[in-house]
Structure 1
Amino acid sequence: MTRLDELIAWFETLSPDNLHRVADFYAADAEFKDPFNEVRGPPAIENIFRHMFVQVAEPRFVVTSRFVGSPPVGGAMLLWEFHFRTRAPLPARAMIARGATHLRFDDVGRVTLHRDYWDAAEELYAKLPLLGCLMRGLQRMARA
Structure 2
Amino acid sequence: MTAAITLHPDEAVTAIVAFFEHLRPENLPQIGQLYAANARFKDPFQDVQGVAAITGVFEHMFVALDAPRFVVTQRVVQGTQCFLTWDFHFRFQRFDRHVTQTVRGATHLVLDAQGRILLHRDYWDAAEELYEKIPLVGALMRWLKTRANA
TM-score by length of 1: 0.94
Q: Give me the whole-angstrom Cα distance separating, in 2, the residues matched to 1:102 and 1:143.
A: 29
Gaps of 5+ in 1: none
Q: Which has the higher contact order (CA 8 A, sep 6+)?
A: 2
Which residue does the alignment assign to 2:6?
none
CA offset at residue 94 of structure 1?
A: 1.3
CA offset at residue 140 of structure 1?
A: 0.2
Q: Give me the whole-angstrom Cα distance separating, in 1, the residues matched to 2:70 and 2:96.
A: 22
Deviation track 1:44-94 (CA, whole Å, cap 9, x = no partner) reads 00000000001110000000000111x3xx210000000000102x23121
Which residue does the alignment assign to 2:135?
129
Gaps of 5+ in 2: 1-9
Equivalence map 1:102-117=2 (5 Å): 102-117=108-123
Which residue does the alignment assign to 1:84?
90
Q: Give me the whole-angstrom Cα distance separating, in 2, the residues matched to 1:103 and 1:60.
A: 19
The secondary structure found in structure 1 opposite 2:120 is strand
The secondary structure found in structure 2 opposite 1:103 is strand
- Give the partner amino acid of 2:38: D
Which residue does the alignment assign to 1:22?
31
Which residue does the alignment assign to 1:38?
47
Runs of 4 or more, structure 1, over 4 Å off, are: none
The secondary structure found in structure 2 opposite 1:142 is helix
The secondary structure found in structure 1 opposite 2:25 is coil
CA offset at residue 127 of structure 1?
A: 1.2
Q: Give me the whole-angstrom Cα distance separating, in 2, the residues matched to 1:94 and 1:75.
A: 32
Q: Give me the whole-angstrom Cα distance separating, in 2, the residues matched to 1:30 and 1:68.
A: 19
The secondary structure found in structure 2 opposite 1:17 is helix
Q: Give me the whole-angstrom Cα distance separating, in 1, the residues matched to 2:59 and 2:90.
A: 14
Which residue does the alignment assign to 2:5?
none
Report the identity percentage: 51
Q: Give me the whole-angstrom Cα distance separating, in 2, the residues matched to 1:132 and 1:38.
A: 25
